[in-house]
Amino acid sequence: MNLPNKLTIFRIILIPFFILILAVPILSGSTVVAGTVISYTRWLAALIFIVASATDFLDGQIARRRHLVTNFGKFADPMADKMLVMTAFIFLVELNEAPAWVITIIVCRELAVTGLRLIIVENDGKVVAAAWPGKIKTTTQMLAIIFLLLNNIFFDAINFPFAQVMLYICLFFTIYSGIDYFVQNRSVFADSF
């Protein structure tokens, strides 16, 4: 197994730790950073999320530069991203940091695109790699999650809701990239009309 695929698997392994930290907050106490109060539990969850997100960037860079792109990587990398992001967003709804309707749209888009990818694999035998709109979507989602977990750190002091702004930007790119995947692959449904 090559390094990019190992990084993807490592990202998947981090997800249960992320869940455990948020579901069973074993750390008590909090600290103030840049005028923002953040619990130790949120710090640790954010750290795990940041490390997992960094592996997403690294595995793709390494795979392309070293010509280590594999079908497993094309499949597992977006799946790991979806698992990580959907897990974080569901917890953010529970923590009252994100509106359920926004997260519902994001989760539905992720499931729809995953279904589309499965149909393409079945029909054409090829795995669809992430397109640029999807990569922008993933980046904005990860930024929104980090700042929501960290209570809008650095921006709370100036009273700018950066975390919420990022959440709605990621919602826009989630919808846009979902539409883009379906438009780019509309031939899959040609026999339906």
Helix (H), strand (E) at residue 152? none
Please, what are the domains in the chain?
3-184 (1.20.120.1760)
Query: What are the pLDDT digits (tens) for 81-104?
Result: 889 999 999 999 999 999 999 999
Structure-block tokens of residue 133: 């709109």
According to DSSP, residue 148 is labeled H
What is this structure's pTM? Answer: 0.85
pLDDT digits over 134-193, tens only?
A: 889 989 999 999 999 998 888 887 889 999 999 999 999 999 999 999 998 888 887 766
Beta bridge partners of 31: 38
Q: What whole-number distance in Å separates Cα of residue 135 and Cα of residue 25?
A: 31
